[in-house]
């Protein structure tokens, strides 16, 4: 009797879960671009194997004949019009984030630059003293929330600071059986 009841309960639970709508996020537009005299920048949220967005791919094209420098210590994650945090990316040390000593990146004259970045307020850090072989990465990106999400990019060229904002709108849509109900 107990086994029949258990099997019935498990079957009901599986049916309920399989019929529940999946939570999926979308970005409008999928890629946003902003252009000024010195450079163009595009912003694309990425899912990284999940149904939600966790990082942005930022691409910068230098339209001048002089190098541009990305100041990661001043560049900010913008959510619903408010600066929230900085950004982290592969190869960065958690101590650089804490100390505000993130190295700049250079976009060569006439060249392009691309990097996947995650808002620091949404990441999880491994313990600084974890030196086990399994602890290969210091950070793990979290879910970018619904709303207007973007980057206030701070660049320098010949000692002059140039700021450019670019953003996308992220919304949650429910799907059931692969059909969007947005």
% of the chain beyond a pLDDT of 90: 64
Residues 6+ apart with CB under 8 A from 104: 69, 70, 71, 72, 156
Residue 173, classified by CB atoms within 10 Å of its CB into exposed (0-12), middle (13-18) or buried (19+), is middle
Looking at domain 22-175, which CATH architecture does it have?
A: Sandwich (2.60)
- The pTM assigned to this predicted structure is 0.78
What is residue 13's DSSP assignment? Answer: H
pLDDT higher than threshold 90 for residue 39: yes
Rounded to the nearest angstrom, the gap between the alpha carbon of residue 23 and the centroid of all alpha carbons in its chain is 18
What pLDDT shows up at residue 179?
Answer: 45
SS3 at position 10? helix
pLDDT for the residue 53: 96
């Amino acid at each position: 009797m107990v086994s029949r009841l258990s099997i019935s309960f498990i079957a009901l639970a599986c049916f309920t879960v399989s019929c529940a709508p999946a939570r999926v996020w979308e970005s409008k537009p999928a890629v946003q671009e902003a252009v000024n005299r010195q450079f163009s920048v595009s912003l694309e949220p990425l899912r990284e194997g999940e149904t939600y967005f966790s990082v942005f791919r930022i691409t910068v094209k230098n339209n001048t004949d002089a190098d541009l420098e990305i100041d990661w210590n001043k560049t900010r994650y913008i959510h619903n019009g408010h600066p929230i945090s900085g950004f982290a990316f592969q190869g960065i040390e958690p101590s650089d984030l804490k100390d505000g000593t993130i190295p700049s990146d250079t976009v060569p004259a006439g060249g392009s630059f691309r990097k996947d970045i995650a808002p620091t307020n949404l990441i999880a850090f491994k313990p600084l003293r974890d030196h086990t072989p399994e602890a290969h990465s210091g950070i793990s990106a979290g879910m970018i929330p619904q709303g207007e999400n973007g980057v206030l990019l701070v660049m320098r060229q010949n000692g002059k600071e140039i700021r450019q904002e670019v953003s996308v709108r992220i919304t949650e849509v429910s799907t059931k059986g692969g059909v969007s109900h947005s």
